[in-house]
Amino acid sequence: MRTGDTPFHLLFNPEDGLCPDRKSTKRHLSDVKHIFYNTKKTEQVLKDGDPLVYEFYELSMPHHEGDLAFGTSITYPGTIGDEYFMTKGHFHSILETAEVYYCLRGKGMLMLEHSDGRWESEVFEPGHAVYVPKGYAHRSINTGDGPLVTFFCFRADAGHDYKTIESKGFRYLVVERNGVPTPMENPNWKSY
Ligand code: MN
């Protein structure tokens, strides 16, 4: 019997977002160093260590169109220069699939970008449910002082396309300007 074929439950701690019975996927700075626009700052930070930037759960749910994939994502607080710690971000391999994120703890943003040029940033605060329409790449950004914990759910066969964002970047980044999280055009962005 595969996970997902029978009813089950899992505990996700609402304080730290962690699931004690499952192993998370961790992304340290060295794994995601190309996502930050200030490459010099990134190298400087890496000289002093390799901080954990985020972790999330992939529960090896069945990958059929009628199944759901879910889990938590925890983005840790920190900055590279004026840019906040964030996830790599991705499109779904099946572009016509949406997703919903529910913020349990912390403060941040979800950056959303469509290949037709539309983009949007939504605020994450505890209690906020953010809808990612089909066709939008999405990235979590921690603009607060503690962990940003969200719970997500999407169609299990959607798949992740990380490559498109890896090669192009997001059109807008979020940087700190006078203490305020502010979208900024990505100087390294490559058009579709
Ligand atoms: Mn997704």
Ligand 1 centroid to 153 CA: how many Å? Answer: 8
Task: Determine the pLDDT at residue 170.
Answer: 97
- In the numeric block, which tokens belong to residue 19? 């699931």
Task: Determine the pLDDT at residue 2.
Answer: 60
Ligand 1 centroid to 139 CA: how many Å? Answer: 8
Task: Determine the pLDDT at residue 191.
Answer: 82
The SS3 of residue 95 is coil
Q: Could you tell me if 87 and 139 are in contact, meaning their C-beta atoms sit under 8 angstroms apart?
A: yes
Q: Could you tell me if 107 and 124 are in contact, meaning their C-beta atoms sit under 8 angstroms apart?
A: yes
Tokens 């997001």 belong to 170
Mean pLDDT of the 65-93 span: 97
Q: Measure the CA–CA gap between 40 and 49, rounded to whole angstroms.
A: 15
Q: Which of 58, 189, 73 is nearest to 141 (CA)?
A: 73
Q: What whole-number percentage of the chain has pLDDT above 70?
A: 98
Task: Determine the pLDDT at residue 111.
Answer: 98
Ligand 1 centroid to 60 CA: how many Å? Answer: 15
Kindly report the number of other CB atoms within 10 A of residue 155's CB atom: 20
Tokens 């964002």 belong to 165
Ligand 1 centroid to 172 CA: how many Å? Answer: 18
60 vs 65, 88, 154, 181, CA distance in Å? 14, 20, 13, 35
User: Over the stretch 26-66, which tens digit does the pLDDT of each residue have?
Assistant: 999 999 999 999 999 999 999 999 999 999 999 887 888 89
Task: Determine the pLDDT at residue 124.
Answer: 98
Has residue 1 got a pLDDT over 70? no
Ligand 1 centroid to 161 CA: how many Å? Answer: 9
Task: Determine the pLDDT at residue 45.
Answer: 97
Give me the chain's average pLDDT, please: 95
Ligand 1 centroid to 178 CA: how many Å? Answer: 31
Ligand 1 centroid to 23 CA: how many Å? Answer: 19
